[in-house]
Chain A
């Protein structure tokens, strides 16, 4: 089973609408990262959350890590076409005692005018 589950897998929204992407871990997270990947490009680091209850915002994107540190949500307010891409959550290596990053399955976001 996937260690980091993201939902939904894909999302199509009209420009201006709000949306939320969820990331659920099977283990307690020492750190949770959100990345964005534009089609055909590399991963862009968005935010890192470390403490339960922590919330960070960057422009119109807000991410939160729940108190029990096993789930995170990414909320986009008033979506724009520039928000389109694949959003990936990633768990710190310490969370799963591994040398590799663990990534979620990804959420593909499309924003139409």
Chain B
């Protein structure tokens, strides 16, 4: 059981470049989410999905897109990278929306130059 797998683990981008952060889970979880973790700001929700074909915005969605074509995968796309998007990104999943612990990936450390 791999749990939640994020790729890549590290990435450096130039301003204006686009890229996709991958997230996959093998636990048949319906709920998946993306957070960013910045010093002094804790974890902030970017986007989330309650099931395949359904996504919604979190606290800080601007500059990011998501899609959920399968239960397993929940990629996060940066449309045009900006230095303010330098952060550590975590993908998480849980069985359903409420009262279930979320399982986190190991994170993607992204630097935008």
- Interface of A toward B, CB cutoff 8 Å: 30-31, 33, 35, 41-45, 48, 50, 90, 92-94, 99-101, 103, 105-106
Is the pair A99, B106 in contact by a Cβ cutoff of 8 Å? no
Q: B51 within 8 Å of A by Cβ?
A: no
> Is there contact, CB below 8 Å, between B45 and A100?
yes
* A103 neighbours in B (Cβ, 8 Å): 42-43
Q: Given A30, A31, A35, A101, which contacts B45 in the complex, CB threshold below 8 Å?
A: A101
Name the contact of B99 in the complex, choosing from A31, A35, A90, A99 (C-beta under 8 A).
A31
Q: What 20 additional pairs, Cβ within 8 angstroms, besides A33-B101, A42-B104, A100-B59?
A: A30-B99, A33-B102, A41-B106, A42-B90, A42-B106, A43-B92, A43-B104, A44-B104, A45-B102, A48-B101, A92-B98, A94-B99, A99-B48, A99-B58, A99-B97, A100-B44, A100-B48, A101-B92, A103-B43, A106-B42
Q: Which residues of A contact B56 (CB under 8 A)?
A: 99
Instruction: Report yes or no: B107 in contact with A41, Cβ–Cβ below 8 A.
Output: yes
Q: Is the CB of A100 within 8 A of B58?
A: yes
Q: How far is the CA of A44 from the CA of B43 in the complex (A)?
A: 14
CB-based closest 10 A-B pairs: A100-B45, A42-B106, A43-B104, A94-B98, A42-B104, A31-B99, A42-B107, A48-B101, A45-B101, A33-B101
Interface string of B83-113 (1 = CB under 8 A from A): 0000000101000011111111111000000
Contact, CB under 8 Å: B103 / A93: no
